[in-house]
Amino acid sequence: MSLHRNTYWIGGSPCSGKSTIAEKLVKDFGFTYYKCDDHLERYMKLGATMGKPTIGKMATLSIDETWLRPVAEQVEDEFKFYEEAFEIVMNDIDKLPSSAGLVVEGAALLPQNMASIKISKENYICIVPSAEFQVEKYKERPWVSHYLRECSDSQTAFSNWMQRDIRFAEIANQTAAQLGYKVTVTDGKSSIDKMYKNVLKHFNLQKTFTQGD
């Protein structure tokens, strides 16, 4: 299991800047990058063949069945999905070199998943967006309406999607705090560079910034 000191874990919820922070770490330090979102389709297929119940269930849902069911059910399934997918994530991570530094990023890195494999508090951060920031940014993404175009009620689907992710962020935030992990809330008031500096400080990484950064 890749629990090397030079492995940095960035979890949280969508639309919080996780990927941007991870990409900056990779650029500045030459770390290997494992982005969970790049593997979601594979998690779905592999998890179903492994007999993971929630992954198997979600793999069969239509877009209406996915987004027009009760939000509470969506939230519950989202957490179960990432808990089941975490085994696949760790199997992937075990195959990657970590000696030169590794960044693992994605919503699958739930605080409880991190605690289950005893990730240190210094090597994990949970980043979540404020509700207002999340909804604003999702509305700016043209692929969202394209994705929902086949839904019979795309307006309700989008509202449910936002409510699901808002609740997901709230629970992830609360759980991380309870477990003693660092939490950062993205609300659009701080620049990404300021957020990045805070992440560097938390991970005890050093980078030389130019004046004015």
**What is the residue-wise DSSP string for 15-64?**
SSSHHHHHHHHHHHH--EEEEGGGGHHHHHHHHHHTT-HHHHHHHH--HH
- Write out the two tokens for 159: 């509202």
The answer to whether the CB of 25 falls within 8 A of the CB of 103 is yes
Share the mean pLDDT of the chain. 93
Q: What is the pLDDT of residues 126-136, one digit of tens each?
A: 999 999 999 99
Residue 100's pLDDT is 79
CATH architecture of 7-200: 3-Layer(aba) Sandwich (3.40)
The single residue listed with the structure tokens 């494999």 is 117
- Confidence label for 96 from pLDDT (cuts 50, 70 and 90): confident
pLDDT at 212 over 50: no
Residue 97's pLDDT is 76
Helices (H), the chain: 18-29, 40-49, 53-60, 63-67, 71-93, 111-116, 131-139, 142-147, 154-178, 192-203
- Calpha distance 33→104 (Å, rounded): 6
Spatial neighbors of 189 by CB under 8 A, at least 6 apart, are: none
Domain chopping of the chain, boundaries: 7-200
- Secondary structure string (H, E, C) spanning 8-22: EEEEECCCCCHHHHH
Q: What is the pLDDT of residues 30-86, one digit of tens each?
A: 999 999 999 999 999 999 999 999 999 999 999 999 999 999 999 999 999 999 999
This prediction has a pTM of 0.93
pLDDT at 211 over 80: no
Q: What's the DSSP call for residue 124?
A: E
- Confidence label for 25 from pLDDT (cuts 50, 70 and 90): very high
Mean pLDDT of the 155-170 span: 97
The answer to whether the CB of 89 falls within 8 A of the CB of 11 is no
Put residue 12 in one of left, alpha, beta given phi > 0 → left and psi -120 to 50 → alpha: left
Residue 42's pLDDT is 96
Q: What is the pLDDT of residues 103-139, one digit of tens each?
A: 999 999 999 999 999 999 999 999 999 999 999 999 9
Residue 74's pLDDT is 98
Mean pLDDT of the 15-39 span: 95
Residue 3's pLDDT is 59
Percent of the chain with pLDDT over 90: 86
pLDDT at 210 over 50: no
